[in-house]
Amino acid sequence: MSNPPSTGLRSWLTTTDHKRIGTLYFWTAFAFFLIGGLEALIIRAQLAQPDGSLVSADTYNQLFTMHGTTMVFLALMPMTAAFFNWIVPLQIGARDVVFPRLNAFSYWVFLLGGLFMNASFLIGAAPDGGWFGYVNLTGPQYSPGLNIDFWVLGLQILGVASLAAGFNFIVTILNLRAPGLTMMRLPVFSWMTLVTQFLVITAFPVITVALVFLLFDRTFGTNFYVPAAGGDPVLWQHLFWIFGHPEVYILILPAMGIVSEVLPTFSRKPLFGYTVVVYSGVLIGFMGWGVWSHHMFSVGLGPIADSFFAAATMLIAIPTGVKIFNWIATLWGGQIRFTTAMKFAVGFIAMFIIGGLSGVSHASPPSDLQQTDTYYVVAHFHYVLFGGTVLGLFAGMYYWIPKMTGRLLSERLGSWHFWLTFIGMNLTFFPMHFIGLLGMPRRIYTYAPELGLGTMNLVSTIGAFVIGLGTLALVINVLWSRRHGEPAGPDPWGGATLEWSIPSPPPPHNFDVIPTVTSRLPRWTTEHPAAPSAPGSAVHVPPGSWWPLVAAAGLPIMASAVVTKLLALVFLGAAVLVFGIYRWAYEPFEV
Amino acid sequence: MTHATSMGLDSRKLAFWTFIGSECLLFGSLISTYLVYKGQSVVGPYPHEILNIPVTSLSTFDLLASSLWMVLALAAVQRGDMKWAKIWLLGVAIGGLIFLGFQVYEFTSFVHEGLTLQRNLFGASFFLLTGTHGAHVAVGVIWMLTLWVQALRGRLGPQNAITVEIAGLYWHFVDVVWIIIFTLVYLLQ
Ligand SMILES: [Cu+2]
């Protein structure tokens, strides 16, 4: 058996092992999470008092734009990808994803896209048009600099990474399930991954087109969004939010999946209403496509459109609410163990309820008109994306990192992490509801003392630094436990799903023998016999490959052509991409 | 190397179907934009002044025919008749090249008549839509030529007919998209 190299830089650059790629995603997303968090802290420091003067208005624009863009595309989505990579193949009893080299390609494209976008800081021209990049602010007339070019091209590159991963994971989940693992026995996390990836492959082409129009307007002088030529800036809003609302579910569904694994394990009860939770997730995926214009009520689309999208938005709260009841019912009467993972999962439910309720409050157009573009909206989506997605991801870290590293995280530090984060986020974001309703607009770099919002803003800023302390506890915990954490053993929590049946960390081929599944909770419902010892040398582990990295490198080279105005780079980048793909296609590589 | 898959469907083929689903949204967005912007241009040339239905019907017919050659190529590969497989694969590639030739001719004559990317919304949305489709055809041509070279070197046979089948899926999809574009852009002005 030809094992790939297992240490050294080369082994990481050429790896096609889903676990190693998951680890790469984890650390990269973690680093971007810290960068995005740092941007948030500077924003909050600037707003701590009226007439703040820490940063200029220009810098402030770059900070909030990059905070949003970084958190959505470079921190949260890739962190969910880290869990998809690590956990999905283990949960479905597979030795890897279906296309390991495509998986490596996704990671490298993501990394290079993230670096490309952040390289803009080096020349002092970071994107500054908001994470939603509304035209005509982002058009050539009002944003002549390179800032928006970096944003447009960076997102295009990142889109390629997401799409490639989407195809890979859909096919992996549909096609590589262990014998007996029917769709209705599939762990909820894997189910939510599947729904998420369907949203990815259908939502990203839409923003791709929107971005191409913007790129053409900026680079080639077309008039897609230019009103004087008959173009319509609202077209951008439609295309962006047709992508943007499903994107919200792309961010939250994986967290819902994580929580649906953590709650049953630490309640020692099967998930209440598995079928309903799964179908609600699928329904959310479908309905997520019909609500985008609730981001555009203030445009004035007319009563019919407004009523339709208001009704659809209120309806989508139903499957979400159903899930919340299922989670609470799972806790009911369970033997609850309040581990850190469990604390974060329960915190997720509580915070997500608040975020969901404030969301319903701007499903109604008249109410939304009072709230739109104020801090109320900032409060809402941070309860959903921080209180929901981030807390869910933290739950996932405490639950699955022991599987990844073989060592438990410290529960003591974990407790500090949880309480600092939980208290900090409520201090930060709860006052924003009032700050917004009292009239403070979003994306304003400072405010007058006469508004009387100084105290609440100060509280919010203190809260943000408390979250920062909590995050520090997490960083210390993750680094410390790598060496000093207690050995986890294969199954530290008594989990029900297949990933807990193999050693931690798992061997390169995961399963000595592919398991046969007979129930939804394979480790709870059957006596688990010791895994039959397998002829280890017969398990084939695919070798590494350089070509995904080479092919990925072609994309940022092509994108550089726009910001350097060197046409030759397009051809060079395309040549690198095509060369990489051909070598990849002709490489003898068996999975 | 074949594995038993949960769905009983080859993984590459399944992946390709998801890719086609994704592409539908891409072309859907481009076509929608074209339709939304129809009649919004503030200066000419306008579609009815410039679109040449007879010429484009010819190129459409050529692309349709190439889909038939594709079917024949796959059938030949599957039954191991590599002589005809090579002929039909090359036929598909040439059909695609002829289509691209028509498109180059169309684009240059439009530019001569004053319709450029920058001229008006019709120009921008038309060139971007049909250009994206043309780029897909170009990728398909390269793919077909690659398969043809493989066949010449004796590396293509019934055992890897699946690669031809997937290339065929792509080709038929690109063809279907063109039928939609031809109908919506050229016929229903
Ligand atoms: Cu929305």
Q: How many Å apart are CA B73 and CA B88, to the nearest integer?
A: 5
Counted domains in chain A: 2
Q: How confident is the model at residue B1 (pLDDT cuts 50, 70, 90)?
A: very low
Give the residue-averaged pLDDT of A342-351.
96
Show the CA angle centred on residue A191, arms to residues A189 and A193, nearest 5°: 70
CB contacts of B6 in chain A (<8 Å) are: 174-177, 181
- What is the reported pLDDT for B2? 44
- What is the reported pLDDT for A590? 61
Residue A566 belongs to a domain: yes
Q: A453 C-alpha vs ligand 1 centroid, how far in Å? A: 28
- What is the reported pLDDT for B32? 96
Distance of CA A277 to the CA centre of its chain: 21
Q: How confident is the model at residue B39 (pLDDT cuts 50, 70, 90)?
A: confident
Instruction: Transcribe A162-176 into DSSP letters.
Output: HHHHHHHHHHHHHH-
Averaged pLDDT of chain A: 92
- What is the reported pLDDT for B6? 85
Instruction: Transcribe B17-40 into DSSP letters.
Output: HHHHHHHHHHHHHHHHHHHHTTT-
Name the least confident of A52-56, A226-230, A401-405, A527-531: A527-531
Collapse the DSSP code of A441 into the 3-class scheme (helix H, G, I; strand E, B; otherwise coil) and give the result. Answer: strand
Collapse the DSSP code of A517 into the 3-class scheme (helix H, G, I; strand E, B; otherwise coil) and give the result. Answer: coil
CA distance A171 to chain B (A): 6
Q: What is the CATH number of the domain that holds A38?
A: 1.20.210.10
Domain shared by A456 and A576, yes or no: no
- What is the reported pLDDT for A587? 81
Domain shared by A518 and A585, yes or no: no
- What is the reported pLDDT for A2? 45
CA distance B167 to chain A (A): 14
Give the residue-averaged pLDDT of A552-579.
92
Residue A519 belongs to a domain: yes
Domain shared by A156 and A105, yes or no: yes
Give the residue-averaged pLDDT of B159-186.
95
- What is the reported pLDDT for B77? 94
Residue A31 belongs to a domain: yes
Domain shared by A466 and A394, yes or no: yes
Contact B41 A224 (CB under 8 A): no
Domain shared by A511 and A550, yes or no: no
pLDDT digits (tens, 9 = 90+) for B81-138: 999 999 999 999 999 999 999 999 999 999 999 999 999 999 999 999 999 999 999 9
**Considering chain A, what percentage of its residues have pLDDT values greater than 70?**
96
Q: Where are the domains of chain B?
A: 27-34+46-187
Helix (H) or strand (E) holding B147, with range, is: helix B121-152
CB atoms within 10 A of CB A86: 26
pLDDT for residue A537 is more than 60? no
Helix (H) or strand (E) holding A277, with range, is: helix A274-287
- pTM as predicted: 0.94
pLDDT digits (tens, 9 = 90+) for A194-211: 999 999 999 999 999 999
Contact A60, A39 (CB under 8 A): no
Q: Hey, what are A384's tokens? A: 């959903």
Domain shared by A589 and A442, yes or no: no
- What is the reported pLDDT for A119? 94
Spatial CA neighbour of A306 closest among A289, A291, A284: A291
Q: How many Å apart are CA B11 and CA B2, to the nearest integer?
A: 9
Domain shared by A121 and A259, yes or no: yes
Q: How many Å apart are CA A207 and CA A156, to the nearest integer?
A: 9
Contact A229 B120 (CB under 8 A): yes
Domain shared by A348 and A303, yes or no: yes
Residue A537 belongs to a domain: no
Task: Among A177, A212, A220, select the one facing B118 at the smallest CB separation.
Answer: A220
CB contacts of A228 in chain B (<8 Å) are: 42
C-alpha pair distances (Å), A562 with each of A109, A503, B146: 18, 48, 30
**Considering chain A, what percentage of its residues have pLDDT values greater than 90?**
82
CB contacts of A235 in chain B (<8 Å) are: 33, 36
- What is the reported pLDDT for B137? 97
CB contacts of A220 in chain B (<8 Å) are: 117-118
Domain shared by A305 and A441, yes or no: yes
pLDDT digits (tens, 9 = 90+) for A299-316: 988 999 999 999 999 998
**Does the beta carbon of B14 lie under 8 angstroms from any beta carbon of chain A?**
yes
Domain shared by A514 and A568, yes or no: no
pLDDT for residue A241 is more than 90? yes
Task: Report chain B's terminal Cα–Cα distance, integer Å.
Answer: 50
CA distance B121 to chain A (A): 6
pLDDT for residue B164 is more than 80? yes
Residue A535 belongs to a domain: no
Instruction: Choose the final residue of a domain: A526, A557, A575.
Output: A526
CA distance A167 to chain B (A): 6
pLDDT for residue A527 is more than 60? no
Spatial CA neighbour of A225 closest among A126, A305, A133, A117: A133
Collapse the DSSP code of A374 into the 3-class scheme (helix H, G, I; strand E, B; otherwise coil) and give the result. Answer: strand
Q: A313 C-alpha vs ligand 1 centroid, how far in Å? A: 8
Domain shared by A549 and A509, yes or no: no
Q: How confident is the model at residue A3 (pLDDT cuts 50, 70, 90)?
A: low
pLDDT for residue A392 is more than 80? yes
CATH value of B27-34+46-187 in 1.20.120.80, 3.40.50.300, 3.90.1010.10, 3.40.50.261: 1.20.120.80
CB contacts of B129 in chain A (<8 Å) are: none
pLDDT digits (tens, 9 = 90+) for A82-140: 999 999 999 999 999 999 999 999 999 999 999 999 999 999 899 999 999 999 899 99
Q: Hey, what are A210's tokens? A: 């929107």
Domain that holds residue A389: 14-526
Domain shared by A315 and A423, yes or no: yes
Name the least confident of A324-333, A469-478, A560-569: A560-569
- What is the reported pLDDT for B3? 57
- What is the reported pLDDT for A415? 96
- ipTM of the complex in this document: 0.94
- What is the reported pLDDT for B9? 87
